[in-house]
Amino acid sequence: MTIATGAGRQTGASALWALALVLAVAAAFGAYVYLAEGRSARAPAAAPEPAEAPAEAAAAGWVTDGRVQRADADDPGMWLAHGRTHEEQRFSPLAGIHRGNVAGLGVAWLKDLGTYHPVEATPLVVDGVMYFTAPWNVAYAVDAATGAELWSFDPGVPGETARAACCGVISRGLAVYEGRVHLATLDGRLLALDAGTGSKLWEVDTVIDREREYTITGAPRAAAGKVFIGNGGAEYGVRGYVTAYDAATGEQAWRFFTVPGDPSLGFESEAMAVAAQTWSGGAWWEIGGGGTVWNAIVYDPDFDAVYLGVGNGSPWTRAIRSPGGGDNLYLASIVAVDAATGEYRWHYQTVPGDNWDYTAVQDMALADLVVDGVERKVLMQAPKNGFFYVIDRSDGTLLRAHPYATVTWATRVDMETGRPIENPDTAYADAPQWILPGPGGGHNWQAMSWDAGRGLMYLGTHDLPFLYAMPEEYRETGVYKRRPGAWNTALEFGRLNQMIEAMENLPENKGYLIAFDPLTGQRVWTVEQAHAWNGGTLATAGDLVFQGDGTGHVSARDADTGEALWQAQTYASIVAPPITYAVDGEQYVAIMTGGGYLPDEAAATWKYGSHGQLIAFKLGGDVALTEPALRNLEIPEQRPITASAEDLDRGDVLYHEYCWACHGPGAKSPGGLPDLRLMTAESHDAFQAIVLGGTKQDTGMASFADLLDAQDVERIHQYIVSRAVKDRDAALAEASAAATPAE
Ligand code: CA
């Protein structure tokens, strides 16, 4: 429920500026690219290098397969694709900024995005132009050296779409390919824009069923003449799939479903017939089945394959989803498909019979690695479940599976069978259990970076314990009916906050940045972070690891030790990954800021609210970042509570069914979206009109009239007032105790 006022969504003026850059900058490269001593340039990709017409190379956004494959050698100053190259290693060969001079980094330019929504995107840099998306999928092209806007494009995502997005109005990026910008929208469309002007070239609807809550938050990937896109929605009850479109025309090339549909209707492919053998007993297709591919889709030029990172089940609990047991393919799996046809090649399932929201959608990095004396082409991933996988991408053979975070749901992965050994002590079917990782994962979508020279992966990890509890009614009956428009996890959420508040000695949230050796499972260094939810990483040939964190700091660390060599405070929590690029011989580091997840006083978002910006740093940059006003957290005096104890209890349950995911547990917002305890008198008066009438739907607060009636809304309202009174009284008592001198 978005109620308080404040900086709202981007309306995107879409001023179309002529792209007046001189793009023939390739000749300038080389001067600033020097590799650090003792390192060698990595071998160029083995795949064939397509020929390109020289005339076309002058066009804006002219990214080709060959150019991405030769990026280390020919375009080290570019960030051409989501993970920089097809391999998505997020390692830059630029070394102009290094351990010896990084202390001199300062802000070169910044761009205010005017948003309080989480900012998670990776910008791309092609020939001196930076392309990126802000919340609501507003796309921008700016001069990468100055931040001056060249064009912007607002795809006009309806505000009420926010209700169908589990985790916010999020966009993780766009693709630039052969003169086009490919933009996917929260409401499920895929667009191609002219990279030079931002004008729309084509648009397709990727959603197969508009009655279901499909959303797109991930970045499309473009390669081999196609654009690949998946979607999210498994919390609401959907069936996952990925679609490939012809990049030039938008014509559909293929679609790969990740879980089987209703068997009585037949199967789309042999892969679905095989998968259906691993589901049993329930009508999973009615709830959806899940398996959404909402983040990683990686193209491999070595095998002309696409790797799909497949998500969790719909619903989360397997006792409801597939009561007869089974692995439930291809949930929580990495699936390799043929890039040209979408035909299944192989899969590796990280979590057979997912029961915990353990997605395998996290970023994947491709590399050549010597494993046990054998040179292998590998894929590496740290999915939510806490194990770090090294997989042979020629056939899906599991090579390593060491834990990278605290894991209690399983004891280990059996390397003979490739299957995890579940820990019977944490089974939650009969009694609630604190389990690690929780649905936040031991690591989530935040990008990781691979330093091939050191054989280390740098990634943010966390211990975010979650109380898994199955509501009694489902446990006893085994019957669950999908609720359109609501979360369909078949887990306890309505009473979860009450259960947790009644407990003592709650487990702590912790966050770490680690340098991880995937072959030995060793953490070569570990930084314990002040906040548990932090940003992605970037590694460079300057022997540096860059990361933004929840406290608002961007840091550069020594790749060998983790020691912070430079820090800047941006006053906004950071979850997005940094990138680096060069223009005219000058190296920059850029990062998007703004976000928030945990109501934690260490978070910049808690202190200041969330202020989305794109900030570019360079050596000697001298633009000042100014501290914003502190968020006013003083809870106003409340109206008298008129509801009965039963109505307040019902309001509590309804709030934690429908409202908490955006506005925070216990009506305590982490910042960013409005904290309802701080509502103004006007918002209290308008509460019914906002929640049922949808008067603020343009900001993302859609009507809930399909799920709630006026009486329920008043119960929720009274519950929020009761929380405000409780927290206000506690704050007043604390202030009074602090003012009274000790005897
Ligand atoms: Ca999920």
The tens digit of pLDDT for each residue in 411-469 reads: 999 999 999 999 999 999 899 999 999 999 999 999 999 999 999 999 999 999 999 99
DSSP state of 596: -
57: confidence class by pLDDT, cuts 50, 70, 90:
low
Residue 472 pLDDT > 90, yes or no?
no
The secondary element (H helix, E strand) that includes residue 275 is helix 270-276
345: confidence class by pLDDT, cuts 50, 70, 90:
very high
Mean pLDDT of 703-712: 97
The rounded Å distance from CA 203 to ligand 1 centre is: 27
Rounded CA-CA distance 312/292 in Å is 7
CB 548 within 8 A of CB 509: no
Token pair recorded at residue 356: 């915990």
**pLDDT above 70 as % of the chain:** 92
Cα Rg, the chain, nearest whole Å:
25
The rounded Å distance from CA 486 to ligand 1 centre is: 14
Residue 473 pLDDT > 90, yes or no?
no
Beta strands in 127-213 (DSSP E): 129-134, 138-143, 149-153, 175-177, 180-184, 189-194, 200-205
Given this model, what pLDDT does residue 476 score? 82
Mean pLDDT of 348-361: 98
CB 581 within 8 A of CB 79: yes
The rounded Å distance from CA 235 to ligand 1 centre is: 6
123: Cβ contacts below 8 Å, ≥ 6 apart: 79, 130, 131, 132, 173, 579, 590, 592, 614
Given this model, what pLDDT does residue 599 score? 76
The rounded Å distance from CA 490 to ligand 1 centre is: 13
> Residue 477 class from Cβ within 10 Å (0-12 exposed, 13-18 middle, 19+ buried)?
exposed
Rounded CA-CA distance 272/270 in Å is 5
Given this model, what pLDDT does residue 28 score? 28
> Residue 689 class from Cβ within 10 Å (0-12 exposed, 13-18 middle, 19+ buried)?
middle
Given this model, what pLDDT does residue 6 score? 30
The rounded Å distance from CA 81 to ligand 1 centre is: 25
The rounded Å distance from CA 195 to ligand 1 centre is: 33
**pLDDT above 90 as % of the chain:** 88
The rounded Å distance from CA 196 to ligand 1 centre is: 36
In whole numbers, what is the pLDDT of the chain averaged over residues?
Answer: 91
**SS percent in the chain: helix, strand, coil, step 5:** 20, 30, 55
CB 103 within 8 A of CB 566: yes
477: confidence class by pLDDT, cuts 50, 70, 90:
confident
324: confidence class by pLDDT, cuts 50, 70, 90:
very high
The tens digit of pLDDT for each residue in 576-591 reads: 999 999 999 999 999 9
CB 168 within 8 A of CB 662: yes
Residues facing 461 on adjacent strands: 512
The rounded Å distance from CA 207 to ligand 1 centre is: 18
Spelled out in words, what is the top-level CATH class assigned to the domain 2-42+76-619? mainly beta
Given this model, what pLDDT does residue 38 score? 29
The rounded Å distance from CA 236 to ligand 1 centre is: 9
Rounded CA-CA distance 14/276 in Å is 47
The rounded Å distance from CA 318 to ligand 1 centre is: 14
Residue 596 pLDDT > 80, yes or no?
no
Using the structure block, give the residue that is written with the tokens 């309505």: 494
The rounded Å distance from CA 32 to ligand 1 centre is: 43
Catalytic residue among 65, 143, 187, 357: 357
Cα torsion angle, 497, 502, 507, 510, sign = positive
Rounded CA-CA distance 71/124 in Å is 13
| Higher pLDDT among residues 7 and 368, named by residue | 368
The rounded Å distance from CA 459 to ligand 1 centre is: 20
Mean pLDDT of 146-171: 96
216: confidence class by pLDDT, cuts 50, 70, 90:
very high
The rounded Å distance from CA 233 to ligand 1 centre is: 8
Mean pLDDT of 304-314: 98
SS (H, E, C) 411-478: EEEECCCCEEEECHHHCCCCCCEEECCCCCCCCCCCCCEEECCCCEEEEEEEECCEEECCCHHHHHHC
Strands 91-92 and 537-540: parallel
Residue 508 pLDDT > 90, yes or no?
yes
The tens digit of pLDDT for each residue in 597-639 reads: 777 889 999 999 999 999 999 999 999 999 999 999 999 999 9
| CATH of span 645-739 | 1.10.760.10
104: confidence class by pLDDT, cuts 50, 70, 90:
very high
**Domains of the chain, residue spans:** 2-42+76-619, 645-739
Give the residue from 83, 94, 39 showing the smallest Cα distance to 580: 94
| Higher pLDDT among residues 87 and 472, named by residue | 87
Mean pLDDT of 503-532: 97
183: Cβ contacts below 8 Å, ≥ 6 apart: 133, 137, 139, 153, 155, 174, 190, 191, 192, 193, 220
Given this model, what pLDDT does residue 743 score? 56
Mean pLDDT of 282-311: 97
Taking the whole predicted model, whether its pTM rises above 0.75 is answered as yes
Residue 713 pLDDT > 80, yes or no?
yes
Given this model, what pLDDT does residue 98 score? 98
Mean pLDDT of 265-289: 96
Which strands, in side-by-side order, build the sheet including 387-392? 364-371, 374-381, 387-392, 398-403
> Residue 633 class from Cβ within 10 Å (0-12 exposed, 13-18 middle, 19+ buried)?
middle
Residues facing 569 on adjacent strands: 553
Rounded CA-CA distance 667/688 in Å is 17
Provide the residue count of the chain: 743
Residues facing 308 on adjacent strands: 297, 335
Residues facing 713 on adjacent strands: none
| Higher pLDDT among residues 679 and 51, named by residue | 679
> Residue 457 class from Cβ within 10 Å (0-12 exposed, 13-18 middle, 19+ buried)?
buried
| Same CATH fold assignment for domains 2-42+76-619 and 645-739 | no
Establish whether 549 is a catalytic residue: no
Residue 48 pLDDT > 70, yes or no?
no
The rounded Å distance from CA 269 to ligand 1 centre is: 25
- Which whole-number Å values give the CA distances from 717 to 203, 639, 726, in the listed order? 41, 11, 14
The rounded Å distance from CA 321 to ligand 1 centre is: 15
Residue 478 pLDDT > 90, yes or no?
no
